[in-house]
Structure 1
Amino acid sequence: MMTRQSITHLVCDCDGVLLDSESIALRVLHRELLPLLPALAAGDVAYSDEESRSAALHAAIANRLGMYTDLLLDEVDAEFELGLSAQQVEHLHESVGRACGEEAQPVPGIAEALQAIRLPRAVASNSDAPRIESGLRRCGLYAQFEGRIYSAHDVGKPKPAPDVYLAAAAGFGIDPARCVAVDDSVTGVRAAAAAGMHVLGFTGVAHDRKAMARQLLAAGASKVFDDMKQFPQLICELVWLR
């Protein structure tokens, strides 16, 4: 007879799970990158007007949210031939970081959900540590994660590599298989799955929840949910999964 093994620790992504900040990053990046789109050549029918070009840029950024910002900018730069300089990239980092620090709000229901979940918890994010800490402080969540904040900037390769999730498990001194990770991006779900954690996908702040749910399941999430009221029950079910 198989014995039950409890999930003992919780590891949360930051942007899009704890903080509703990805919409802010999307807005800032779109606003800053749109004027850099190269002028259409005569007869270019790829994007017939400014509105469609703007929509294409918006979608390209939205589909990459959760990536390390440098990689996101590299891919968007290549796709749209923006020709970003190092100075422009630094400016974009500063603009996004400042806006998220000043405007980020907690994901609706996250404070209540965390209060109901008794597992020790950590943050594992592709954002840099100062931005994570600033956002958590602003939203009143810092005390719950103090001393357990892991940034891909500090531990090695960014998501979708598993490094930052592995660092969180190592910080607890436990096997990653005893952790449940919660992430809202394909990049993050792949990282947590590669680390060997149980993975829940959150779609509550996604632009297209149904499409994102399909993508997160395909990336390795065992279940997806779109309302933090569901979060404690999902954790309870996982505690007795084995």
Structure 2
Amino acid sequence: MTAAPSIRTSDRPRPRLIIFDFDGTLAETEIIASEVISTKLAAEGVQVHPDEITATLSGVERDDQQPRLESLIGVSLPKNFMETVGVEIQLAASVSLSATPGAIELLQWLTIPFCVASNTSRFELIHRMRAANLLGLVGSRFFSSDDIGIRKPDPSVLLLAAEVMGVSTGECLVIEDSVIGLNAARNANMRYCAFGGARHHSSQLRNDLRTFEPEALLLNLEELKGLLCPM
């Protein structure tokens, strides 16, 4: 499948910095989380498909996840349910986390400076980047909302990344897999593309991404090469 740009990136100057989200953009963490939660809910006697969990929790603040989940299933869960799930997600990621389609190939190819800006904590980012074989490619160029104390859709972590990397907001291109992430990019007055090719992306999630009119909806991150270097 090929990219479907809604605005021709070739009509614009090449960005001087590409800012990637991590979970669901560079690594398949979202589907792992949804599968773990689905399994834990089944142990509580509640059957919910991982796709429904993803649609409910994608990009949602950590403190709001359990109330959203309880609203979805109509059942109150143990108070520490999401804390327990978080530990299991971390363990599952250590064993089975992989990069998203085209992520490694794109990062190896890029000559434009790039970095990661994520709502995930720095500790978890390091752990997950290492598990997905991405830490060596990203190096120290990653930023967490913990660094600034405010999470997306607030644009602060994106603005911090641009500031530290020495690039103006108008020269940045953000790659995000969620509505909350695209909202943050728009709030930062940065250009953005949507990534909809991870295992957790449903047709509905892709349609939600399209409502933000991204420069492109990428189904494989290598498709970005053609937008940065058009024929």
TM-score range, shorter chain: 0.7 to 0.9
Q: Where does residue 118 of structure 1 map in the other structure?
A: 111
Q: Where does residue 90 of structure 1 map in the other structure?
A: 83
Q: TM-score, normalised by structure 1?
A: 0.80
Q: Where does residue 31 of structure 2 map in the other structure?
A: 23
CA separation of 1:197/1:88 partners in 2, compared to 1, >3 Å: closer, same or farther? same
Q: Does 1:103 align with 2:96?
A: yes
CA separation of 1:176/1:84 partners in 2, compared to 1, >3 Å: closer, same or farther? farther
CA separation of 1:168/1:32 partners in 2, compared to 1, >3 Å: closer, same or farther? same
- Partner Cα separation in structure 2 for residue 113 and residue 119 of structure 1: 11
Q: Where does residue 6 of structure 2 map in the other structure?
A: none
Q: Where does residue 54 of structure 2 map in the other structure?
A: 62
- CA displacement 1:181-235 (0-9 Å, x = unmatched): 1111111111112111111111111445543332112134221010233121123
Q: Which one-letter code corresponds to 2:171 in the other structure?
A: R
1:36 offset after TM fit, Å? 4.0
Aligned to 1:105, what secondary structure does the other structure show? coil
Q: Which one-letter code corresponds to 2:92 in the other structure?
A: A
Give the number of aligned pairs.
219
- The percent identity for this pair of structures is 25
- Contact residue 160 and residue 191 of structure 1 kept, 8 A: yes
- Partner Cα separation in structure 1 for residue 208 and residue 148 of structure 2: 26
- Give the number of the structure with larger relative contact order, counting CA–CA contacts within 8 Å between residues 6 or more apart: 2
- CA displacement 1:145-168 (0-9 Å, x = unmatched): 222211123322222222221221
What are the within-5 Å matches in structure 2 for residues 30-49 of structure 1? 30-36=38-44
Q: Does 1:190 align with 2:198?
A: no
CA separation of 1:129/1:186 partners in 2, compared to 1, >3 Å: closer, same or farther? same
Q: TM-score, normalised by structure 2?
A: 0.83
- Partner Cα separation in structure 2 for residue 193 and residue 217 of structure 1: 13
Q: Where does residue 13 of structure 1 map in the other structure?
A: 21
What are the within-5 Å matches in structure 2 for residues 214-229 of structure 1? 214-229=207-222
Which stretches in structure 2 are left out of the alignment for 5+ residues? Answer: 1-11
Aligned to 1:219, what secondary structure does the other structure show? coil
Aligned to 2:222, what secondary structure does the other structure show? helix
Q: Where does residue 203 of structure 1 map in the other structure?
A: 196
- CA displacement 1:123-154 (0-9 Å, x = unmatched): 11122212211121223221222222111233
Aligned to 2:184, what secondary structure does the other structure show? helix
Q: Where does residue 44 of structure 1 map in the other structure?
A: none
- Contact residue 193 and residue 220 of structure 1 kept, 8 A: no
Aligned to 2:15, what secondary structure does the other structure show? coil
Aligned to 2:140, what secondary structure does the other structure show? coil
- CA displacement 1:58-112 (0-9 Å, x = unmatched): 4442112233333222322344344345433321221222222332011232111
1:27 offset after TM fit, Å? 0.2
Q: Where does residue 174 of structure 1 map in the other structure?
A: 167
- Partner Cα separation in structure 2 for residue 209 and residue 233 of structure 1: 24
1:122 offset after TM fit, Å? 0.9
Q: Which one-letter code corresponds to 2:34 in the other structure?
A: L
- Contact residue 68 and residue 127 of structure 1 kept, 8 A: no
- Partner Cα separation in structure 2 for residue 207 and residue 90 of structure 1: 22
Aligned to 1:122, what secondary structure does the other structure show? strand
Q: Which one-letter code corresponds to 1:9 in the other structure?
A: L
- Contact residue 67 and residue 126 of structure 1 kept, 8 A: no
1:33 offset after TM fit, Å? 2.8
1:236 offset after TM fit, Å? 3.2
